[in-house]
Amino acid sequence: KVVEFMRKEYPANFSGASVRIYANTGIRQTRWISGTHQLSLEEVRSGKKCDDAVARTAWPVELHDHGDGYVWEVFDDDHVHYIPLGSLVSPEADNYAACGRCIDADVAALSSVRVMGPCTATGSAAAHALVLAGKASVHSIDVNKLQEILYDNLDRRY
């Protein structure tokens, strides 16, 4: 009903909109974008810092994807992993940035970055990226400038 409403009321923006999958009650993860980069479990485990990193976290892998229990993969005390801007932006949209559990990551990687802290960090990164883009494409922003703005959440060690 929402998609139909948006198509009818805002045809210039939503006439071609489609939904890949609708929410499924009882399923923890129901929707996310296809970004220009999909964060992988290997990147999370290795702590890889992409050139376009916009957030960091150390939260464990926390999968609740089967009825037999859950996966809780804790990292070393000094472990940090990063979230790239590419996981927040779609190659098909110039004025859109996702955050929180809606970013592009494989299921295991997403289980580590969809908790409160990283959700807040990606929300801040998405908002600042869109502000920097203004009326231009979010794909054309100066990533170094974005990283300067996000410094406290990206590089500072306490």
pLDDT, tens digit, for every residue of 35-69? 999 999 999 999 999 999 999 999 999 876 666 76
The C-alpha angle with vertex 23 and arms to 22 and 26, in degrees rounded to 5, equals: 145
144: helix, coil or strand?
helix
Distance CA 42, CA 46 (A): 6
Instruction: Please give the DSSP secondary-structure letter assigned to residue 59.
Output: P
- Exposure class string for 93-118: b at 16+ Cβ within 10 A, else e: eeeebbbbbbbbbeebbbbbbbeeeb
Give this prediction's pTM: 0.78
77 CB contacts (<8 Å, ≥6 apart)? none
Distance CA 158, CA 137 (A): 34
Q: What tokens does 7 get?
A: 């198509």
pLDDT, tens digit, for every residue of 68-114? 766 788 999 999 999 999 999 999 999 999 999 999 999 899 999 99
Q: What tokens does 28 get?
A: 């923890």
